[in-house]
Every structure is written in structure tokens, then in C-alpha cells.
Chains A and B, each alone.
Chain A
Amino acid sequence: MSDTTLLVFRGDSIKTGTEQPFQVPVQEGMVVLDAIHWIQAHAATDLACRWNCKAAKCGSCSAEINGRPRLMCKTRLDEFAGEPIHVWPMRAFPLIKDLVTDVAWNYLVNAEITPFTPKTDEPVPYRMAADDVERVFEFRRCIECFLCQDVCHVLRDHDQKAAYYGPRYMVRIAGLEMHPKDTVNRTALLHREAGIGMCNITKCCQDVCPEHIRITDNAIIPLKERVAGRYYDPIAWVGRKLFGSKAD
């Protein structure tokens, strides 16, 4: 059994906080979260981190490991071949302490999205064809780890949280828009409040998604196409004028 060094961010302000080194004994198959737990039990009982399931199902243990946004429970120590491992909190959100950030903004954004709205007289139980729902399953795989929000440069570097909902909520809206029983059209929301035009499809969200959701290709771009059809396509505009306004 060998040791490895973890350099863990400690502090309650990103400016004054520093990396603190810890020597952690390594067992086969250990992940970064195991190492953090070892540190909590043996070296720093007050080291703050979020975690729940330790099985990549809840999306709680998001952090930046050697500069890359990842789930700590899914990042194995043997990947780093004994090199020191830097563990930092997500940088796109305000720091609370150590590895824990304040992600409340995401929940506020979520509440702005028009919820699932079926027809009031839709017969229950629903009949839905597999062909109609299979696209939506991908979006519903999201575990809300917020790594996509963290890596999105619109939110992270430009801090345009007022202008853009971020990739997670593009995924949620895609799941609602493509739901065969939903009756609401959220194209106007996407164009204005959600700010889909702010995304310049540089795909970092898709790169970091632990659930392998093709966020940009399958959620954001199809929604951009819907917005293009509604707001930018001149022939579609003429069509709507001539044949009535059936928005997208």
C-alpha cells in the first residue's frame, strides 16, 4: 500500500484560501472521494465536502480535480499514477467553505421554467409511443451535479448568470419541449429569459457530463434550431404570416 498526495483547497474565500497537502494511504480502486473521507476521519475533521451516494447517481460530490470539473466519486486515484492531485471547489459558484459552493442560483433558475403542462382532458393512464419518448430519456438522465454549469464559460468566466440559464436548464427545457404530452411552447422563454443565444456551442458542458448526455448536440442545438425557426428564419416567418401563426 503506497501513499499519494492530495492538495486540497481549504478556506472560506477563494482569494484567501490555500491548498493544504495531505498524505493519504492508497488502496486498490480508491477514488478521490475515498481520499477526502480518509482526510476527514484522520487529518481534518472539519474538511467540508458534499457527497451522498458515492455511486455517481446523485451528483453531489462535484469538484475540480487537476483543473477539470469532475465527480469525486468517479475519479480514481490510480489515474494520476502517484502524481499530486489538486482538488478544488467548483469555481463558477460562490464558495462556502473548502470544497462546498453555494449552488442556490441553479435552483432559482429552475423555478423560472414553465413546468410540465399536459392537456387537462388527457386520458389517464397515458399512452405514449416508444418512438416519441426515447429522445427524452437522455435528458432525464441528468443528475444535477452542475458540472456543466461550472464549466460553461458564459457563467464561469463571463459571469453572465443574469443572461443565460446554463446547460443544465437547456437540458431540462429540451426534456419538456420534446415530451409528447406537454402542451406549452418554451421557444420565447429560450430566446429571451433563458438566453440560448448566449451559448456559443463550444461544448465544454458535453465534455464534462458524467452521465454522457450529449448536451450541446442533442439539447442545446435542437433548441437553437427551434429558436432560429421562430425568430430568424425569413421563409418560416412568411409561412406563419400566410398560414397562421403555428409557432414552430
Chain B
Amino acid sequence: MAWWIEPALTVVSYVGFFAYATWSVFSGTYVFADPYVSPFFSTWIGFGTFKLPVIGLLVPFLAVIPLGLRVTCYYYRKEYYRAFFRDPTACARGEGVRGRYTGETRFPLVLWNLHRYALLLTIVVTVFLGVDVVRAFIYHGHFFVGLGSVVMLVNVILLSGYTFSCHSLRHLAGGGLDCYSCVKAGKARHRLADALNRLNPRHGWFAWVSMFSVGLTDIYVRLVMAGFHEPRWIA
């Protein structure tokens, strides 16, 4: 495989995803087809007495959180520094950009040190999405399984995989300790950090597939809204 294929695919995918997500969030449509909701939106907000106005205000704000996680993510950083900034283009292939290099020591890149906050907020969002998945299995008060329920479940598993394989989470969970047996609850923290450490090598894989699964789930809910007759196994 030629060295430029990977960066080219990266550019196309990232631009495509960002464009689609922005369009979806700001399209003015609340992407909801009972009991399904797009992962860019959430049923938690706007149910009951509130409704659309609040959704309209909050959704773009909420959608920004996972986007923030991805922008500051150690894996995405590698991909876009290489593909977009060609810094470096590929290993031992020279630089695309001339001029003084400062790495991640200056504004704005120095802000990426706050990755852990994007992570913590995303964990909250992921809980919201999890509840949405539970609701996708309940239709008019009954247990229900449609293709959309499965799509949403798979999506949230992939998103969780991405979130929980995060380097910052591993650090906060126990990777930051020098000596597990020297602190309280060290054994538990070692187990947790160790488990996250085993998940970590798949961080890049989760990043890619979860990005596609979010977009595809949104498209799927829109299809159902547009009248697509999906297979339903338990209705």
C-alpha cells in the first residue's frame, strides 16, 4: 500500500464525518422515530414538560462534547497531525510544513492537555446514550426488538469501547500511580488500570468504527422516520 493512501482516507473520512454531523445537528429536525433516537440527540432532554425549544438549544452543545473528545484524543491527534498537517506526513518521509515547530507546547495545541475533561463529560454523554438504548427496547410499555434497537445497541457498545480504551482514563484509573501496593485500594486500581490497558491497543480501531457507527445510526433513524419498514422481531 502506497504511503499516501492512509492519510488520504483519513482526510476524506474526517471531513465527511464532521460535515455530516454538523448538518445533522443543525438541520432543524429532531431525529427521533419512536422508540429510536439518533445518537446526536437524546430522549432525556426535552421529554415531559419541555420539548423542542430546549432540544434545539442543548443538542449542539451536547454534540460538541464527544467531538471534543475526538479532537483532543491521542489517537486522532496522530491521525490528523499526519494527514492534515503533514507533520510528519509519514514515518521518515519528511515534513509537509516548514517553519518553527513547537509541538504541543503552544496555544491552541497546548489545550489538548485537557483531554481528560472531554473524557469525563463524554462518559456522562455515554450514560445518556445508554439510557436511549434501553428505551429503544421498550415500545408502548412492552419489550421490543427491532433492527433499530440492535443498531443503537451496537453503536453504544462501539462508542463505549472507544471511550473506555482512552489513554486519559487509564491514567486516572490507576496508570498515574507508581506503586499499586503502596496506596489504598491499590489492588483494585491495578486491576482496573490493567483491564483498561488491555483495551487500549484497540483505541484506534474503536475510534474508526465508532465514528462510522454514529453516523450510520443517525442515518438509520432518519430512514425509519422517512417510512422505511424495518424488520421487527418482537413488537
A-side interface residues toward B, CB under 8 Å?
64, 67-69, 91, 129, 131-132, 150-151, 153-154, 156-158, 160, 164, 177-182, 195, 197-204, 207-208, 214, 216-218, 221-222, 224-229, 231-233, 248
Residues of A contacting B104 in the complex (Cβ-Cβ under 8 angstroms): 197-200
B-side interface residues toward A, CB under 8 Å?
74, 77-78, 81-82, 87-88, 91-95, 101-105, 109-110, 113-116, 167-168, 170-171, 175-176, 178-182, 187, 190, 197, 200-201, 203
Query: Which one of A151, A195, A202, A225 lies within 8 Å of B82 (CB-CB)?
Result: A202
Interchain CB contact under 8 A, A157 and B102: no
Q: A129-B181, A217-B200 are in contact. Are A158 and B115 (CB under 8 A)?
A: no
Residues of B contacting A217 in the complex (Cβ-Cβ under 8 angstroms): 74, 167, 200-201, 203
Residues of A contacting B187 in the complex (Cβ-Cβ under 8 angstroms): 131
- Tell me the complex Cα distance, A224–B81, Å: 17
24 chain-A/chain-B pairs, Cβ below 8 angstroms: A64-B92, A69-B92, A131-B180, A132-B179, A132-B181, A153-B88, A154-B101, A154-B103, A156-B92, A158-B101, A177-B178, A179-B178, A180-B182, A197-B104, A197-B110, A199-B104, A202-B81, A204-B92, A217-B167, A217-B203, A221-B74, A225-B168, A228-B114, A233-B116
**Residue of B77, B102, B105 ringed by the most chain A CB atoms within 10 A:** B105
Q: Smallest Cβ distance from A248 to chain B, in angstroms?
A: 7
- Tell me the complex Cα distance, A178–B170, Å: 14
- Tell me the complex Cα distance, A195–B77, Å: 18
Residues of A contacting B94 in the complex (Cβ-Cβ under 8 angstroms): 157
Residues of A contacting B74 in the complex (Cβ-Cβ under 8 angstroms): 201, 216-217, 221
Residues of A contacting B95 in the complex (Cβ-Cβ under 8 angstroms): 153, 157-158
Residues of A contacting B171 in the complex (Cβ-Cβ under 8 angstroms): 222, 225-226, 229
Interchain CB contact under 8 A, B91 and A229: no
Interchain CB contact under 8 A, A225 and B180: no
Query: Which one of A69, A177, A222 lies within 8 Å of B167 (CB-CB)?
Result: A222
Q: A217-B201, A232-B110 are in contact. Are A204 and B91 (CB under 8 A)?
A: yes
Q: Which residue of B lies closest to A231 (CB)?
A: B113
Q: Smallest Cβ distance from B6 to chain A, in angstroms?
A: 12
Interchain CB contact under 8 A, A182 and B178: yes
Residues of A contacting B180 in the complex (Cβ-Cβ under 8 angstroms): 129, 131-132
